[in-house]
Amino acid sequence: MKSCILFIIGIGLTNNLYAADWTAAFSYLEQGKKGDDGKLLDSIMKNTFEQITNTKNQNPDTQPIYKLSKMARTGKFNNISIAYRNDMLPAKVYYNKDDTYLMAVYPLKNATLYGLPLQSFSYYLGCDECDYVGFYATFKPMSKQQYLNLQKTIKFKNEEEDGCLGENQPLASFEQRNGRVHLSLNIGC
């Protein structure tokens, strides 16, 4: 009986050892912080999709065709640290009806951000001509007070130039949609 209890405790501790706090990966977006300059998230985004045909060279009206990369399909990103890698499950891909919008959703296990549990990361490609891309983290359900605390305590840097969203617009923001809280990165336009 005693060894069974110790075994169960050991399993719980092992799972927690592999849980990663992703706050450091997002801190480069915050005012007064540098973080990793977005290297971790950039690595995930650059290794999510691979272009399988470039029909744009043959016909400028045709969109290139993308598929999930092997790393995205397996959830095994060899180029990121093991703590983060262990949080990521294989991505699921979604297209809109016109195939002009492609999204990969990475379910997460044991991941936290700003001390709150994360459910998934989503990375999407919009129109190819305008390089419209986006990335957001979806939190697991949280209270209204937790959401308000996030908005109050985390302040994001603003665009320095007249970027996609306009000068002095935040690089990221917390949004509440469909009963979930998302941290949306304002990248690409």
Q: Which residue has the higher pLDDT, 5 or 43?
A: 43
pLDDT given for residue 127 in this prediction: 60
Rounded Cα distance between 27 and 31, Å, is 9
CA 25, 108, 112, 138 dihedral sign is positive
What's the predicted TM-score (pTM) here?
Answer: 0.78
Q: Is the pLDDT of residue 48 over 60?
A: yes
Average pLDDT on 103-113 reads: 94
pLDDT score of 13 more than 50: no
Between the CA of residue 179 and those of 107, 138, 139, 140, 143, what are the distances in Å?
A: 18, 11, 10, 10, 10
Higher pLDDT pick, 126 / 58: 126
Q: For residue 37, what is the DSSP state? A: T
**Cβ neighbours for 42, distance < 8 A, ≥ 6 positions apart:** none
